[in-house]
Amino acid sequence: MSGFSTRAIKAATTAPKVDQIPSSVPIYQAAAFSTADAAELGDVLTGAIPGYAYSRIDNPTTAALGDAVAALEGAEAGLAFATGMAAIHATIVSVVRAGQTIVATKAVYGTTRDLLVRILSGLGIATEFVDPRDPAAVDAALARTGAPILYVETISNPTIVVSDLAALATVAHSHGALLLVDNTFASPYGCRPIELGADLVMHSATKYISGHGDVLAGAVVGSRDRIAAIRPILIDVGGALAPLAAFLVLRGLPTLAIRMERHTQTALELAAWLAGQDGVERVHYPGLPSDPSHEVAVRQLHVFGGMLAFELTGGREAGRAFLDAMMVAERTASLGAVRTITTAPPSTTHRQLDAAALREAGIAPGLLRCSVGLEDVEDLRADFELGLAAARAATS
């Protein structure tokens, strides 16, 4: 008979036999998977046969999330990452090489801009920023630089500009460039960029895909060949998503459509109300007929989404007073959760940008970004009334 420690290890690590189909994807909380023999281990690690050996390379729960996002986006394949930024980084460097230039939208998430301007520039990769609403400028930038990618956001962070993805895909492909799209703000329910001509689509799955604000994750989807080119970067750089985190994101996916419909309904009511309030200089929401992105949004989006922004006439001081007065909305930098989240981009999501860069990106000093949650709209409106009253008092 074997010793106690040997028996304890075997008893605690022997998986139960399950013949029935579970109602949710199991959490394969294992760092490694054993094989029948050395030959099988070698074949799994080299990809000669399907299987699992080490969870940094692949894990069943994590793989299920990548497949699920791909299915919702209408893509051939997908990969899950530890964060959205890990997915964006791996996707970009799978295509671009030192000495090349990226053409990217001016209105882009602050950390993405920092990746482009600070990190990738140190590796010999330049970035030229353009207004995605100006096809002639995009065309000229791609022609001048020979850029291998055009990088945009379906709905820009934080100015809520909706890019015409079909038109941009045509321009990018005419120059032999790939269209890379961050679809986080729209979600796969709101927009499917692959169907509009995009080549690779990324998500911070932390946001709407998960929907509950309790997990970090990212994803990228595209053709099998493009995803195969990204996989080695995921493995070697170490951006693997933990299986428990993958399970939590998968838990949120079944309610994505219901949540996005509610987010949109409330955001539209709140945006229309804000547009008529004293102290509000401008509201950015594509569901408003007066919004410059409305025509593109109607053609491209299934729902307008839960993200809106508005500019206060009193600048940063008004913004601080507004945020400090709120009782329902959270003051933090994330989005896409059941709770409403309001933030001042110049000091949070786009804190890396100086005054000139903020102006170039179209971010006004008094801009506030709101991720509208699932609370009752009457409660949110009352909360925003508190914020507006405080903003007016602070700047009167």
The CATH number for 292's domain is 3.90.1150.10
Residue-by-residue DSSP string for 110-122: HHHHHIIIIITGG
**What's the total number of domains in the chain?**
2
Residue 95 shares a structural domain with residue 197: yes
- Which member of 106, 207, 262, 320 is catalytic? 207
- Which member of 28, 52, 58, 109 is catalytic? 109
Residue 261 shares a structural domain with residue 237: no
Q: What is the Cα–Cα distance from 191 to 211, expressed in whole angstroms?
A: 16
Which pLDDT band holds residue 30 (cuts at 50, 70, 90)? very high
**Is residue 275 situated within a structural domain?**
yes
Domain boundary among 234, 255, 276: 255
**Is residue 13 situated within a structural domain?**
no
- Which member of 56, 231, 251, 282 is catalytic? 56
Q: What is the mean pLDDT of the chain?
A: 94
Residue 310 shares a structural domain with residue 378: yes
Mean per-residue pLDDT for 111-124? 96
Residue 366 shares a structural domain with residue 301: yes
Q: Is the pLDDT of residue 351 over 80?
A: no
Q: How far apart are the first and last CA of the chain?
A: 84
Active site residue 106: no
Q: Is the pLDDT of residue 107 over 80?
A: yes
93 contact partners, CB below 8 Å, separation of at least 6 = 120, 233
Q: Is the pLDDT of residue 356 over 80?
A: no
pLDDT tens digits, 261-281: 999 999 999 999 999 999 999
Mean per-residue pLDDT for 224-252? 97
Residue-by-residue DSSP string for 187-215: HHHH--GGGGT-SEEEEETTTTTT-SSS-
**Is residue 323 situated within a structural domain?**
yes
Active site residue 182: yes
Cβ contact 73:81 at 8 Å: no
pLDDT number for residue 357:
67
> Which structural domain, as residue segments, surrounds residue 235?
38-255
- Which member of 139, 164, 182, 291 is catalytic? 182
pLDDT tens digits, 188-213: 999 999 999 999 999 999 999 999 99
84-98, 236-250, 349-363, 374-388: which has the minimum mean pLDDT? 349-363
Active site residue 383: no
pLDDT number for residue 353:
62
Residue 183 shares a structural domain with residue 84: yes
Domain boundary among 255, 280, 299: 255
**Is residue 9 situated within a structural domain?**
no
Residue 278 shares a structural domain with residue 230: no
Q: What is the CATH number for 154?
A: 3.40.640.10
Residue 187 shares a structural domain with residue 218: yes
Domain boundary among 255, 274, 291: 255
